Chains A and B, each alone.
Chain A
Amino acid sequence: MARALGCGVRARVLIRPKAGILDPQGVAVERALPALGFAGVGNVHIGRLVELDVENPDQLPEMCEKLLANPLVEDYEVEHLDGSG
């Protein structure tokens, strides 16, 4: 994997609609799957995935709050991939 940075970690930010807010894309997929013969599917939600190399992973929460997610309507979760790089 190409690395732009000499050090730091690769991180993954998962962004999803907050529970209780209508997610029409999720609803559409939830309806489409049974139509294709996949029974027993529920609670489908569709969000965004941001992967990035960061030198200072401590800044990730602030990056999420300010730009990557809209905390009014989205929840986010930060995963550190493969430890330090």
Chain B
Amino acid sequence: MKFGVLQFPGSCDEIDALQAARRVGDAELIWHGDRDLKGADAIVVPGGFSYGDYLRAGAIARFSPAMGSVIAFANDGGLVLGICNGFQVLCEAHLLPGALLGNANLRFTFRQVELEVLYAGGSFFASSQIGERLSIPAKHAWGRYYADPQTLSAMDRAGQLVLRYAPGQNFNGSVHDIAGVCNERGNVFGLMPHPEHAVDVLTGGSADGLKIFESMRLAAEGARA
């Protein structure tokens, strides 16, 4: 099973994403100018500051040739994980509902956050339980998730509000403490915290992030079987 990890000018977490993916399968980088997804079974859109975050985070990256292929891949049911800037790119590409705004505290904030899994199962939380806690680092200035109330209630009914900040952990002002959401079909998932930085207790504070990559591997292999 192979992950494709996108790389934009200004990406900075693509190597950690590659290393995390390689703990559960094969992984290869995909340059933003390439349309070929190299036969990847799952795509990771990594963190960083794609195209300098000019205009709005993710606004320009969303139109890159590689993203054109990722949009087709996702519409075809392919698994796509967006982390931090990758989450912003997926929202700008309308693969995920809502938008990410400047943190309410107006600061770039870097801290270990406690998250709660609200909807277990599916392609990204196959081995998790509802209410399970994950401890994962977050580091961003534009992570305040927003969607209008009608969209949020539809997402809630459809089980798309997958991951939230545990009580007291929502430092960026996200609506309903939302840390990560998936699309209606459940094959595209984005989150602001960084699971690729939490794959080893020594450096990540936990290895909880690995669960997401492991779940994607299971889902991709299941889809292929």
Mark interface residues in B43-83 (1 if CB within 8 Å of A CB, else 0): 00000000000011001100100000000000000000000
Number of contacting residues on B, CB 8 A? 19
Contact partner of A72 (CB less than 8 A), chosen from B60, B98, B102, B106, is B98
Dominant secondary structure of chain B at its interface with chain A: loop
Given A67-B55, A68-B55, A73-B146: A24 touches B98 (CB 8 Å cut-off): no
Dominant secondary structure of chain A at its interface with chain B: mixed
Nearest-neighbour CB distance to chain B for A68, whole angstroms, equals 7
Residues in A whose Cβ lies below 8 Å from that of B173: 22, 24
In the complex, number of A-B residue pairs with CB atoms less than 8 Å apart = 34
Mark interface residues in A10-54 (1 if CB within 8 Å of B CB, else 0): 000000010001101100100000000000000000001000000
Q: Which of A28, A48, A67 gathers the greatest number of chain B CB atoms within 10 Å?
A: A67
Q: Is the CB of A72 within 8 A of B99?
A: yes
A68-B63 Cα distance, complex, nearest whole Å: 13
Verify if B101 is at the interface (C-beta below 8 Å from A): yes
Verify if B129 is at the interface (C-beta below 8 Å from A): no
Contact partner of B59 (CB less than 8 A), chosen from A22, A24, A67, A72, is A67
A17-B146 Cα distance, complex, nearest whole Å: 12
List the interface of chain B (C-beta within 8 A of A): 55-56, 59-60, 63, 92, 98-99, 101-106, 144, 146-148, 173
